[in-house]
Structure 1
Amino acid sequence: MAFLWKFVFLAIFSGFNSQPLLFNCEKEPDKCESKGYFYRDNNQLKSLVRGQDEILKEMSRFGNILEEIRNRISLLERTALYKDCKELYDMGRRKSGVYSIYPLDLLHQVKSVQVYCDMDTAGGGWTVIQNRVDGKVNFSRSWQGYKVGFGDVSTSYWIGNDVIHELTKDNSSLLYVSITGKDGTTHYIQYDTFSIAGEDDDYRLYIAGNAFGTLDDRIRYRSGGDNINGMKFSTYDKDNDLSSNHCTDTMGIGGWWFNKCNDAYLNGQYPPGKWSQPWHGTFDDGSKISSTKMMIKRK
C-alpha cells in the first residue's frame, strides 16, 4: 500500500517575496481543521506550488514594469518643456525659485530661458519679468540689452523684450507690479491684460481691462504725456518717446515705455543716480524705493 501524505496549501501574499506555508495535516490535524484547510495529495500540491511560483514571477515582473513607468514619468516631469511659471505651477511645482521655461515660438530652437517663478503671491504661477532688489545690476542698457535680457535671475534682472513678447502676444496675461519702500511697506497693482508687440513695432505696450491694488493706475488714464499705454519702448540708443528731450536721459537712464515722459517708471537708477517718478503720487523719486517687481501670468 502506497504511503500517501496529505497536505494543505496556504498562500499568503504580503509582497513579491511572500513564501507559501505548507502544513502536514496528518501530523498537525488540529492546526488544519481549526482553520478549515482542505487536503491535497502531493501531485495537487506540487501543481499549486508551481502555479503560485508563476503568479509570484508575474507579479514581480509587473512590479518592475510599474517602477520603470514611475521612473520615466519622473524623468519627463524633470525635463518637460514648460512654457511659463503658470504651467509649472499647474503641474505641481509650488516652490518659488529659479526655473527654466521654453516660450512656445522658441521651442524649435530648444532654447531655455532662466526665470524666477513666484509661486506664492496672488495664487502663484507668476513669471517674473523684472526684479530689482538693489542697485548692483545696471539697468542702463542698450536696445540689444533689453531685447535679450540681462542680470541675475536670483536677484535683479530684466527677462528680455523678445521673451516678454512671446509670453504675452495672445493678450491673455495679467500684469502684477509691486514696489517695496524703504520703510518695508509693499504696494501693488494688478492689471487684467498686458502685452507688448514684437521688435518690428518697437515692443509697444498694451494695457487693458480693470486694475486694482494699493497703487494708483499710473500707466493709463493720466493727462497728456503721462499716459504710457500704447507707447513704444525706448533706450538710451533708441529714442521712441514723444518728448522733445530724450526721456531715457532726463528720467533715469534705464529703458522703458515713455510718452512725454511718464508717471510710472521702474527702471531708473538707484541713488545716487537719477530716478524720477517711479510711481507718481506714491513714489516720486527712487530714493524711497527698496525693490520693484513686475510679473505676468496667463489667465
Structure 2
Amino acid sequence: MYGKLAKKDIDSTIQIYQWTNDMYELRRSLLRVEECLSRGICKSKCQNEEFRPKDCSRLDKKIHKSGVFKIFPDSGSGFKVYCDMDTDSGHWTVFQHRTNSTTIFNHGWTGYKNGFCDINAEFWLGDSLAYHNDTRFSTKDNDNDKNGSQNCASVYTGSWWFGACHYSNLNGVFKGSGAKGINWYYWRKTFDTIQTSTMMIRNRKL
C-alpha cells in the first residue's frame, strides 16, 4: 500500500513538473512573439525568431533571474549585459560594477566606448548627479571637462562626467587617496574612497 501511494505521489510530482515546463515554454513563446511584433515582424515569421530583448526591461521576472543576457538595442548583432532582476523591482541594466582592485578603470576613450573586462565581475558597459549635469564624459585621452587649465580625468586618474573637476567619480582608483579614489562626496560630505559601486539604468515606464 505504501509503495502504491509513493508511486502515485511521484507520478503527480512529475505531472506538475511537466505542466510547469509547458507554462515556461508558453511564456517564452509569448515573449518572443511580443518582441517580434514590436519590431514590425508579422506573427507568421515570429515562430523561428530568436528572442531579442531591447534591454533588461523586456525580460520576464517569472522566467529570467539576475544574470548575463544578450540584448539588442537596435537592429545590430547585440551584446551581453548583466541584468539585475532583484534590486527595487528589477529590470536594471548594469553598466558599471566595482568590488575590488583587479580592474583598472583609467581607460581611454575607446575602452569606455567599447566596454571592458569581465561581465560577471568588475566591468564598464560602453557609453548623474546635480553638479555633473550637462557635463560631457572625459577620459585621459579625450578632455571634455569644464576645467580650462587641466584634464580632470588625468589628474584624478579616472574617466567621468567632469565639471571643474568633481564631487563624484565612481571610476577613480580603488582605495585611492582622497579625491583620486572612488568618490561620492555628498554621501558623507567627504572624499574618502568607497569600497564598492554599481551603476544601473532602466526604462522609466516600468
What TM-score do the two structures reach when normalised by structure 2? Answer: 0.70
- How far did residue 285 of structure 1 move? 2.7
State the partner residue of 1:101. 71
Alignment of 1:89-238 (within 5 A): 89=60, 92-104=62-74, 107=75, 109=76, 111-161=77-127, 219-220=129-130, 227-238=131-142
Does 1:262 pair with 2:166?
Answer: yes
Q: Distance in 1 between matches of 2:31 and 2:184?
A: 45
Does 1:81 pair with 2:52?
Answer: yes
Provide structure 2 residue ranges, at least 5 long, that are not aligned to the other structure. Answer: 1-21, 34-48
State the partner residue of 1:49. none
The code of the aligned residue for 1:245 comes to Q
Write 1 or 2 for the structure with the bigger share of strand.
Answer: 1
- How far did residue 129 of structure 1 move? 1.0
Q: Distance in 2 between matches of 1:270 and 1:236?
A: 17
- The number of residues matched between the two structures is 161
Q: Distance in 2 between matches of 1:128 and 1:150?
A: 13
Name the SS of the counterpart of 1:249 in structure 2.
Answer: helix
State the partner residue of 1:298. 203
Which one of 268, 278, 285 corresponds to residue 192 of structure 2? 285
Q: Distance in 1 between matches of 2:176 and 2:150?
A: 22
Contact 1:241/1:257 (CA < 8 Å) preserved in 2?
yes
Contact 1:99/1:114 (CA < 8 Å) preserved in 2?
yes
Provide structure 1 residue ranges, at least 5 long, that are not aligned to the other structure. Answer: 1-65, 162-206, 208-218, 221-226
Q: Distance in 2 between matches of 1:141 and 1:157?
A: 12
State the partner residue of 1:245. 150
Residues 128-180 of structure 1 show CA distances to partners (whole Å, capped at 9, x for unaligned) of: 0111111111111110111111111111111101xxxxxxxxxxxxxxxxxxx
Larger-Rg structure: 1
State the partner residue of 2:3. none
- How far did residue 73 of structure 1 move? 3.2
- How far did residue 84 of structure 1 move? 0.7
Q: Distance in 2 between matches of 1:262 and 1:126?
A: 26
Contact 1:262/1:277 (CA < 8 Å) preserved in 2?
no
What's the Cα RMSD here? 2.7
